[in-house]
């Protein structure tokens, strides 16, 4: 679990770090759409150049990104494999029952692989350069129009940010309880599956009890400090949209235009 | 000392209506503006229940609470909470914000204060508890003492008249405890803040203006620390009183009145010079 | 038989995923004499808890080794060595009541002994015995630990460790958060257990009066290193150094220093408790 890079924040001072979370989220979502414009090697090449440019400007080392892709690699390869095996067309290299390995199949597999990896890399770049709290702020701001539809956006984002706050606490506590039970002779990850399941009870019960306690304390704290759900609240955290945010969205627009141009130039549609 | 800022009359409370036993029975007391009241008592004396009643987290079966002239009711409690804040025991469970300054601002956001007004309030509150340097920090990475300072700042930002500490210093090490007590003492004098500290630490009780002793839901007695520590021999008093009792046991003369550490040093040195 | 604990050039850090914490223990050399009662002091984050964990194989040295009795803990360790060490070293964590999980108090106390291969009937006998020794009524055994008061929970948690019949007892602030009476009772209990069973005991605490009352020796930690390890009187005679390490002195010693400064004299000995200070005051003729 600790190996997961996606969702982690790496503090830094890069250009990416200073972007407004809203523009980062918008750009990332937009990029995923743009990816579907790609249909030949020229367009994929352009996307790769863009992706590498983004990773480079985040000022986080490439090895961190590679570690981010690694846990998902098997899932990606599995999908690619299916694509390769079940897509026909072009020169056929091998045929065995319903399974064919063809030129188009291989090409499609390669494209799918690129799409997956690029999407992961770009989303990793966003989370690595944005504090979790800024992400929730960004999501909150982008979802604000939904308030008109009676969606409790503010409550949801407060819930999300409090939960995020407690992730490290919960991890610490898990570690502590596990240590305490280890000191009393528990061996984790040893024995049969049933035995392993049994060792989890002494961890989950104390964690459950302390989480309940904490939830009660938190509810009291929030009430005493004047929190009433549904009441109008102001916000201390301010997001500021700067020139670089506009610039980054313009870059996205430029990318789209280049993509469409490359598509029509090379394939005619 | 000024006029009462908190009046509690005949407060009676039990958690379970079916039970005979009352957690609090007919508790009455007043606290003046700028006074520091320490409430002491064993576990189960009802002192933490009292804290919850004071901020309206529980509703009494009988009796009334008046804070800054307003009676605490279900309708008035949101208004009253701007005048009284509660610092809880466990420093880990009272943070909502992701950074120190966000957390301090939480109470201000709840009263829908504008951003321009909030910023100076937050800075001022952090300055009062000497935590300005930590405004961007993650509260969960602070030490216990620092966490409680932030929690206090969160309350001070609302400019309340009363701050209630419900065993808030218990989980801290003695040094942070002493430092926090001296900060609270400054706040009391500079901002004429009223402090109610619920505690079983006699060093904390010793710095108060008045100690109220509770036992099984009733107020046993109340008076200045000097009087309480002299009269109540079963209490574990601050160090100097312990030393005096020990000297007395050895048949030595000691000052009859309650003495602070400095006074005791002076007394010892003087008695020597007279010889 | 009491056990010796030895650290030889121990360096250790925690590793959590890609984040490697700075070294929490730095080239520690330490010899804890069998049967001694040692207090570990130092300000928050100085490595006190890590030192305890290293004695129990919960923190494995990246360099050097820890020797408990005849068992060695080092980076290339097998599970059996760890289990042996954990059987011999009973560790009481901070706020141990938050780790209770059993349906009944008895089940919780039996957990440790059962893990170390004690048969159930015998484990139950032990539970009955230790629960009384921590000052609780045996009828509590059938109750749920979650229904108890804070102080009772703490006792049950400590009983769960004592039930393992450890040779070494390491405790991380066992009195924290308790009222003065409850705290004194717990520490007295540990102290008498230490003497009766001839244990080697290590106690992390912030309360210097506890050090003065219960410990023989003191380890002072600062920034992951042991900066002093001596008998308590020598440690507390060195007040100038202690200030640099953000460590307090016991009340009696603090008061003694005030008088010495005011009078411009020095007492014959370093006073650590109220009783000692009283004696000294009489001896010097101040009262």
C155 min Cα distance to partner chain B (Å): 16
B70 and B201: one domain? yes
Domain that holds residue C171: 5-249
Contact B112 A236 (CB under 8 A): no
- The reported pLDDT for the residue numbered A265 is 80
pLDDT at C178 over 50: yes
- Determine the Cα–Cα distance for residues B223 and B226; give it in Å rounded to an integer: 8
Please give the tally of structural domains in chain B: 2
Contact assessment for residue A185 and residue C112, using Cβ atoms and an 8 Å cutoff: yes
Q: What average pLDDT does range C201-209 have in this prediction?
A: 94
Together in a domain, B128 and B256: no
Chain C residue numbers with beta carbons less than 8 Å from the beta carbon of B170 are: 177
Q: Outline where B15-99 has alpha helix (H).
A: 47-54, 77-80
Check CB contact under 8 Å for A182 and C101: no
Residue C259 lies in a domain: no
Please state the pTM of the whole predicted model: 0.83
Looking at the structure, tell me whether residues B192 and B246 fall in a common domain. Answer: no
Q: What does the mean pLDDT of chain C come to? A: 91
Is any Cβ of chain A less than 8 angstroms from the Cβ of C53? yes
pLDDT tens sequence across C246-274 = 888 999 999 999 999 888 888 888 999 99
Q: Are residues B32 and B168 in the same domain?
A: yes
Q: In this structure, are B156 and B92 located in the same domain?
A: yes
Whether A269 has a pLDDT exceeding 80, the answer reads: no
Summarize the confidence of residues A230-251 as an average pLDDT: 89
Binding partners of B (≥3 Cβ pairs within 8 A)? A, C
- Contact between B176 and B203 under an 8 Å Cβ cutoff? The reply is no
Residue A6: pLDDT over 70: no
Backbone angles phi, psi at A39, to 5 degrees: -140, 0
Q: Are residues B106 and B222 in the same domain?
A: yes
Pair (B37, B83) in one structural domain: yes
Confidence band of B1 (pLDDT split at 50, 70, 90): very low
Shortest CA gap A220–chain B (Å)? 7
Q: Kindly identify which residue of chain B lies nearest to residue A134, measuring between CA atoms.
A: B98
d(CA C13, CA B268): 51
Mean per-residue pLDDT, A239-250: 91
Q: Which two structure tokens, joined as six digits, stand for A218? A: 């938190």
Question: Is residue C186 assigned to a domain?
Answer: yes
- Average pLDDT of the residues in B55-83: 93
Task: Supply the pLDDT for residue A2.
Answer: 46
Whole-number average pLDDT of chain B: 90
Percent of chain B predicted with pLDDT > 90: 62
First to last CA, chain A: 45
In contact, B147 and B139? CB cutoff 8 Å: yes
Each residue of B136-152: pLDDT tens digit?
888 888 888 999 999 99
Interface of A with B (CB under 8 A): 131-133, 161-162, 164-165, 168-169, 213-214, 217-218, 220-228, 231-238
The reply to whether B76 and B63 lie within a common domain is yes
Average pLDDT over residues C237-242: 90
Instruction: Assign residue C74 the CATH number of its domain.
Output: 3.40.50.300
Give me the domain span that covers residue B63.
4-232
Band of residue B274 on the pLDDT scale cut at 50, 70, 90: low
* C91–A183 CB contact, under 8 Å: yes
ipTM associated with this complex: 0.88
pLDDT of residue B2: 58
| Whether B82 and B174 share a structural domain | yes
Question: Which of A10-14, C223-227, C239-243, C283-287 has the least mean pLDDT?
Answer: C283-287
Q: How large is the angle between the packed helices A21-35 and A243-267, nearest 10 degrees?
A: 10
Quick check: A231 pLDDT over 70? yes
- Residue pLDDT, tens place only, B76-110: 999 999 999 999 998 888 888 888 999 999 999 99
Would you place residue B60 in the very low, low, confident or very high pLDDT band (cuts 50, 70, 90)? very high
Q: What are chain A's partners, defined as 3 or more CB pairs within 8 angstroms?
A: B, C
Minimal CA separation from A203 to chain C, in Å: 8
Q: What CATH number has the domain bearing residue B163?
A: 3.40.50.300
Clarify whether residues B17 and B57 are in a common domain: yes
pLDDT at res. A1: 37
Phi, psi of C64 (to 5 degrees): 75, -175
* Candidate from A20-34, A177-191, B109-123, C219-233 with smallest mean pLDDT: A177-191
Asked whether residue C255 is domain-assigned, the answer is no
B143 and B160 both lie in a single domain? yes
**CA nearest neighbour of C205 among C195, C191, C219:** C219
Residue C235 lies in a domain: yes
Write down the pLDDT at residue C18: 45
As a whole-number percent, the residues of chain A with pLDDT over 90 amount to 32
Rounded distance between C-alpha atoms, residue C171 and residue C193, angstroms: 13
Instruction: Please state the domain count of chain C.
Output: 1
């Amino acid at each position: 679990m600790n190996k997961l890079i996606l969702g982690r924040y790496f503090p830094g001072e890069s250009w990416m770090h200073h972007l407004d979370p809203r523009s980062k989220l918008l750009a990332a979502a937009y990029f995923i759409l743009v990816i579907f414009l790609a249909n030949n090697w020229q367009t994929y090449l352009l996307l790769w150049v863009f992706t590498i440019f983004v990773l480079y400007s985040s000022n986080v080392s490439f090895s961190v990104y590679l570690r981010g892709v690694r846990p998902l690699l098997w899932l990606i390869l599995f999908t690619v494999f299916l694509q390769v095996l079940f897509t026909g067309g072009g020169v056929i290299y091998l045929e065995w029952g319903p399974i064919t390995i063809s030129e188009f199949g291989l090409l499609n597999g390669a494209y799918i692989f690129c799409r997956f990896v690029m999407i992961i890399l770009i989303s990793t770049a966003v989370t690595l350069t944005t504090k979790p709290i800024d992400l929730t702020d960004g999501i909150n701001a982008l979802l604000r129009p939904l308030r008109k539809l009676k969606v409790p956006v503010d409550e949801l984002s407060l819930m999300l940010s409090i939960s995020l706050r407690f992730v490290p606490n919960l991890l610490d506590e898990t570690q502590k309880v596990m240590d305490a039970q280890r000191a009393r002779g528990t061996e984790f990850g040893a024995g049969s599956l049933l035995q392993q399941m049994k060792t989890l009870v002494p961890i989950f019960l104390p964690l459950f009890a302390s989480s309940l306690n904490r939830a009660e304390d938190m509810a009291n704290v929030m009430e005493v400090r004047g929190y009433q759900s549904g009441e109008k609240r102001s916000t201390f955290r301010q997001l500021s949209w700067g020139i670089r945010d506009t610039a980054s969205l313009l870059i996205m627009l430029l990318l789209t235009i280049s993509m469409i141009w490359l598509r029509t130039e090379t394939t005619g549609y | 000392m000024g006029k009462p800022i908190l009046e509690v009359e005949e407060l009676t409370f039990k958690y379970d209506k079916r039970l005979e036993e009352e957690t609090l029975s007919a508790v009455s007391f007043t606290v003046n503006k700028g006074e520091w009241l320490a409430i002491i008592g064993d576990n189960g004396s009802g002192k933490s229940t009292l804290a919850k009643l004071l901020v309206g987290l529980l509703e009494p079966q009988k009796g009334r609470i008046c804070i800054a002239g307003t009676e605490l009711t279900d309708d008035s409690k949101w208004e009253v909470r701007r005048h009284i804040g509660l610092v809880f025991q466990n420093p880990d469970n009272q943070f909502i914000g992701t950074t120190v300054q966000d957390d301090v601002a939480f109470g201000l956001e709840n009263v829908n204060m504008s951003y321009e007004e909030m910023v100076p309030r937050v800075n001022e509150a952090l300055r009062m508890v000497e935590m300005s340097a930590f405004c961007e920090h993650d509260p969960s990475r602070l030490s216990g003492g620092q966490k409680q300072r932030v929690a206090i700042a969160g309350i001070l930002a609302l400019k309340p008249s009363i701050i209630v500490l419900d065993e808030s210093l218990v989980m801290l090490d003695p040094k942070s405890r002493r430092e926090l007590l001296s900060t609270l003492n400054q706040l009391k004098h500079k901002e004429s803040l009223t402090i109610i500290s619920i505690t079983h630490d006699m060093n904390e009780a010793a710095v108060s203006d008045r100690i109220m002793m509770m036992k099984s839901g009733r107020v046993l007695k109340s008076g200045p620390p000097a009087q309480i520590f002299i009269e109540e021999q079963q209490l574990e008093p601050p160090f100097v009183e312990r030393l005096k009792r020990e000297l007395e046991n050895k048949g030595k003369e000691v000052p009859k009145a309650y003495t602070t550490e400095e006074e005791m040093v002076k007394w010892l040195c003087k008695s020597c010079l007279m010889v | 038989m009491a056990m010796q604990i030895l650290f030889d050039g121990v360096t250790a850090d925690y590793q959590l995923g890609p984040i490697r914490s700075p070294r929490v223990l730095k080239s520690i050399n330490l010899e804890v004499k069998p049967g001694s009662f040692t207090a570990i002091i130092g300000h928050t984050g100085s490595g006190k808890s890590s030192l305890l964990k290293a004695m129990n194989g919960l923190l494995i040295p990246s360099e050097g080794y820890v020797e408990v009795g005849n068992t060695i803990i080092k980076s290339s360790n097998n599970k059996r060595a760890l289990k042996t060490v954990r059987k011999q070293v009973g560790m009481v964590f901070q706020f141990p009541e938050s780790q209770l999980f059993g349906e009944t108090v008895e089940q919780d106390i039996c957990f440790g002994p059962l893990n170390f291969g004690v048969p159930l009937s015998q484990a139950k006998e032990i539970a009955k015995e230790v629960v009384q020794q921590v000052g609780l009524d045996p009828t509590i055994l059938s109750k749920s630990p979650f229904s108890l008061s804070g102080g009772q929970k703490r006792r049950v948690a400590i009983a769960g460790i004592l039930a393992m019949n450890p040779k070494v007892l390491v405790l991380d602030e066992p009195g924290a958060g308790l009222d003065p009476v409850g705290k004194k009772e717990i520490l007295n209990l540990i102290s008498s257990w230490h003497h009766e069973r001839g244990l080697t005991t290590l106690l992390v605490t912030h309360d210097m009066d506890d050090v003065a009352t219960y410990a023989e020796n003191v380890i002072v930690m600062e920034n992951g290193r042991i900066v002093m390890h001596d008998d308590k009187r020598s440690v507390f005679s060195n007040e100038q150094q202690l200030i640099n390490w953000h460590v307090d002195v016991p009340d009696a010693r603090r008061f003694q220093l005030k008088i010495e400064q005011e009078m411009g004299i020095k007492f014959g000995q370093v006073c650590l408790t109220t009783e000692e200070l009283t004696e000294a005051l009489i001896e010097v003729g101040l009262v």
